[in-house]
Amino acid sequence: MDKSKNLIVSVEEKVSVESSLPATDLLEKSITRVEANSPKPLKPVVKLAHDYLSVPLEAVERKANSYSVLNSFHRLTKIPPIAIVGLISIVVLVTLRRIYRTNAHFFSNVVGVIYPAFSSILAIEAPNPDDDERWLTYWPVFGLFVLADHSASSIKKYFPYFTFKIAALYWLAHRNGALDVYRRIIRPILIQISKRQQKSQGSSIQTNNLTQAA
C-alpha cells in the first residue's frame, strides 16, 4: 500500500513539474502588463515581441522539463529545470568567452573542427549523398581559413578576424553555406582552370602531331 502511494505521489510530482512553466508564465505576465500600459501605436510591437519570445521559451522550458535528471534535482532543491538550464548555459558561455579571450586562434579551430568532424563521420555511414557533398565542400573552405590564420596577426589590427571566422564557420557548417560557397565561387573557378588545362593539353597534342608529321 505504501509503495502504491509513493508511486502515485512521484507520478503526480512528475506531472506537476512537466506542466509547470514558471519562466513562460512570468514572460506572459510581464508582456501583458507592458501591453496594457503601452500606447496604442506600440501594441503591435509588443505583440510581435510576445510571439517572437514566448513560443521559443515555452519550447525550451518543456524540453528542460522532460529530462528526468533535472526533475530529480528540482525535487531536491525546488529550483525549476529552466533555471538550471539557464545557469548551466551562463557557466558554459562564460567559460567559452574566457577561452576565446585567452586563445582565440585555438578556440576558432575547435569550433570549426569538432562538430563538422563528427558530422562527417556520420555522413559516411548515412545513405543520403547530400550529406557527403555538404561536408566534402566544407573542409576545403575550412582549409582556406587555416591558411588565412597565418596572416591573422596583421588582419586583426583592422577588424576582429577570429570573431568573423567563428561566425563564418558556423554559417558554413549549419546553414549549408559551404555548399553555396563551393557552387557559386569555388566550382566556377575550378571549371575555368579545367578548361584552360584542356586547351593547353589540346594545343600541345596538336604541336606534337605537327612535329611528327614534319
Q: Give 12's pLDDT tier (boundaries 50, 70, 90).
A: very low
Whether the predicted pLDDT of 23 surpasses 60? yes
Whether the predicted pLDDT of 148 surpasses 60? yes
Whether the predicted pLDDT of 38 surpasses 70? yes
pTM of the model: 0.55
Q: Give 129's pLDDT tier (boundaries 50, 70, 90).
A: low
Predicted pLDDT of residue 11:
43
Residues above pLDDT 70, as percent of the chain: 83
Whether the predicted pLDDT of 29 surpasses 70? yes
Residues above pLDDT 90, as percent of the chain: 1
Q: Give 153's pLDDT tier (boundaries 50, 70, 90).
A: confident
Q: Give 202's pLDDT tier (boundaries 50, 70, 90).
A: low
Predicted pLDDT of residue 208:
54
Q: How far, in Å, CA of 127 to CA of 8, rounded?
A: 46
Give the residue, 129 or 136, on which the prediction is more confident.
136
Predicted pLDDT of residue 5:
47
First to last CA, the chain: 108
Whether the predicted pLDDT of 195 surpasses 80? yes
In whole numbers, what is the pLDDT of the chain averaged over residues? 78
Phi/psi zone of residue 139: left (φ > 0), alpha (ψ -120 to 50 degrees), beta? alpha
Cell of 185: 565561387
Whether the predicted pLDDT of 203 surpasses 50? yes
Residue with cell 525549476: 80
Predicted pLDDT of residue 18:
52
